Structure 1
Amino acid sequence: MNTDNMRERAVAVSVVVPVYNVEKYIERCLDSLVRQNFGYKYEIIIVNDGTKDNSMTIADRFASKYDFIRIITQQNAGLSAARNTGLANARGEYIAFVDSDDFVSPFYISEMYTLAVKNNADIVQCRYCNYFEKSDRSINVLLSHRNGVIGGKKAFEKLISDVSVRNYAWNKMYRRSLFSDNNISYPVGKCFEDVITTPRLFACAENVAFTRKVLYSYAHRPDSITGLAGRKMVDSYLEAYLILSEYLAENGIYYSCRTRISVMTLKVLITLYGMIARQYMAGKGNGGSYISDCREVRNTVKKQLRLLSPAYLKRAQKKQLSKTN
């Protein structure tokens, strides 16, 4: 078989779309994905995570029309489990995750894949815009990375501060083997799973490519997981960053990235304070006061940072050295 035929038959990119109760938005998402201006073979894997509304009626209609759409059904287990199911069934050299209430540019796959192949990149990240459902308006994200390619270590350091390089799963394309070769998956049962998983992927990448083209639209809607400001969301966000800080310490990474981690910590606290404020404004306070809740969160973060004291760091560094010797 000649190379051209092999390339035509091989799946270049797998796009995983987890679906759970998004009947108002899924048609817009899938419509954007089937209209891709891409010259290679790609597949769309819809993971039905036990949806209870009419989302799958819409998805079935698309699947019957387009033979590159596959539907996999599972009992409701959450976003992480749905992404893992998509990963396990993907055939593409590269993989991307698109949330079912978001939508993408017609050049989303082609721009990302071209950059990946051209630069032998393990990860590609694009710029995104925030789309607001109520006003039907989009605003491009202001803080963004530059065009170009950088080494995985440098990209990882930028990711830690979570400013120009964000930890979102959805505005990126990954070499699929990055997950399988390094035994990386999304933590089932955890919210803010991107915070836990994306740094691990960046830590294993050799090259990361960036484009400032706006290719992904992130939808803000009041009934989304991140739109709910209950105490559970506050605790879940805090837990995700505590897990990340433990990972950094255990792998001897904290010391070399301590300045960026200081920026990350400040950003985390500001975000938590904002979440707690929305919680009280919505009448879902924790039974105390806004100030006391903020103080509790701050003390928890400080306690975690004590684990990253010089003595702890020396032990982590020794552990890292023993692994390399």
Structure 2
Amino acid sequence: MISVIIPAFNAAATIDRCIDSIETAKKNHEIELIIIDDGSKDETARLLHSWESDRAWITVIYQKNGGVADARNTGLDIASGNYITFIDADDTIDDWYFDFVVEKAITSNVEMLVFGHKRVMLDGSIIERENDLAEYSRQEINKIQLKGTEHRNIYWYACTKVYSRNLIEGLRFNCDVKFGEDSIFNVECLSKASHLSVVPDCPYNYYESMTSLTSSHYKPDLLESIEAHYSARVKAYDWPTSSIEKQVLLSDFARSYVEHMLPYLLNNLVHIDMKKRRAELIKIRQSFVYQNCLPHYYQRHPARGIRILISCFSQRWYVMTLMLLQISWYKEKVNDYAQD
């Protein structure tokens, strides 16, 4: 049996589309669909009840709102399948998804399978994110654990993975992490895995939304979310005893939070009052995340403008940092206007 876990919060606009794609892909496969209504305030509960009422393979759990991690953990607590997958309520799967899971994971007895996805953007365009085909032994997993930033396709997202029950037995998502909890879970999974399989296939469709990290809207408490993610990630790793390997891991942490998280924090400033931007920028720079990471950041970003921006931020040249951001925002606005 394959257990599919869906956390759903105020998902009335998309949940029918999601479940319909699962029902189409189910065919003759033995599927257990577990949907957790995480305290929705819209019509989600009513829609889920109609799906569950005449389908024995669907189970719906209703609980107080606790967040994605808590909802997924509820699903894990009752899942009975030998293999477990996660699908988000606003996404869909292709009709060959379960054929693929059986062939690539179950038949091959894979502990953890990583696959690609299609990204459906707000403008309707589709970007296919394929992986390079790869197989990793325990020894090779130890090496990639030191360089998670270079293997983001492996560490990001739970929805592009198939997990064997034996691998994730006893593991749960960290409920204190509200952003990027998937990557913490995957770090812990790979600390146990003896074999990892990565394939290019893209049977999963991720739909960009206004609340996505990459969308152009203000994200409240983003710094606090990144700080919680950093603290959880530090605890999740089996830190190497070798000083050289430890430095490699510290450098990887630095690259992750400087090159990949910092741009989101800086671009978030465009949505607040101009008079408050400097104070917010100082708050970001004084965060323990960047106090810890910047001394270990040795990379050179390929984009010259971003290199200069990181350098100004690192050296606490706040006025210059804000000027560079202002220029960047202006250019982006001009480009958007030209495309329209």
Verify same fold: TM over 0.5.
yes
**1:120 — aligned with what?**
109
Aligned to 2:52: 63
In structure 2, the residue matched to 1:189 is 176
Question: Aligned to 2:136, which of 139, 150, 171?
Answer: 150
Quote the residue 2:90 is aligned against: 101
Match in the other structure for 2:303: none
| Alignment partner of 1:237 out of 226, 230, 249 | 226
Matched, 1:296 2:281: no
1:60 Cα deviation (Å)? 1.9
Which whole-Å deviations, capped at 9, do the CAs of 1:194-232 have from their partners, x for residues lacking one? 132110001111111222111111111113577564351
User: What is the aligned-residue RMSD (CA, Å)?
Assistant: 2.8
Q: TM-score, normalised by structure 1?
A: 0.79
Q: Return the alpha-carbon distance in structure 2 between the equivalents of residues 16 and 256 of structure 1.
A: 36
Of the structure 1 ranges 76-85 and 60-69, higher mean CA displacement relative to structure 2 is found in 60-69
Distance 1:279 1:207 in 2: 39
Q: How far apart in 2 are the matches of 1:291 and 1:107?
A: 47
Deviation at 1:302, TM superposition (A): 4.0
- 1:278-317 maps to which residues of 2 (within 5 A)? 278-283=267-272, 287-289=276-278, 291-297=281-287, 300-303=289-292
Contact 2:176-2:228 within 8 A present in 1 as well: no
Name the amino acid aligned to 1:69: I
The separation in 1 between residues aligned to 2:224 and 2:37, in whole angstroms, is 27
Match in the other structure for 1:262: 251
Separation in 2, partners of 1:255, 1:167: 25
Matched, 1:198 2:182: no
Q: Give the match for residue 204 of structure 2.
A: 216
What SS does structure 2 have at the residue aligned with 1:163? helix
Which of 21, 27, 31 aligns to 2:16? It is 27
Give 4+ residue runs of structure 1 displaced > 4 Å after superposition: 224-229, 249-255, 304-307
Question: How many pairs does the alignment contain?
Answer: 290
- Look up the equivalent residue of 2:131 and give its one-letter code: H
Q: Distance in 2 between matches of 1:81 and 1:31?
A: 24
Kindly tell me: are residues 169 and 284 of structure 1, through their superposed partners in 2, closer, same or farther at Cα, counting changes over 3 Å? farther
Cα deviation, residue 254, structure 1:
8.1
Between 1:36-45 and 1:120-129, the stretch displaced more is 36-45
Q: Which residue of 1 aligns with 2:32?
A: 43
Q: Deviations for 1:15-50, whole angstroms, at most 9, x for unmatched residues?
A: 000110111111111111111155431111011111
Query: 3-state SS of the aligned residue for 1:275?
Result: helix
Equivalent residue number for residue 334 of structure 2: none
CA contact (8 A) 1:77 1:189 kept: no
Report the Cα offset of residue 152 of structure 1: 4.0
Cα shift at 1:286 = 9.8
Q: Which amino acid aligns with 1:185?
A: R
CA contact (8 A) 1:248 1:254 kept: no
Q: Tell which deviates more after alignment, 121-130 or 146-155.
A: 146-155
Q: Please say if 1:172 is aligned against 2:158.
A: no
Question: CA separation in 1, counterparts of 2:226 and 2:232?
Answer: 10
What code does the residue aligned with 2:286 have?
E
* TM, length-normalised to structure 2: 0.76
Amino acid in structure 2 at the alignment position of 1:28: R
Residue pair 1:230, 1:284 contacting (<8 A) in 2 also: no
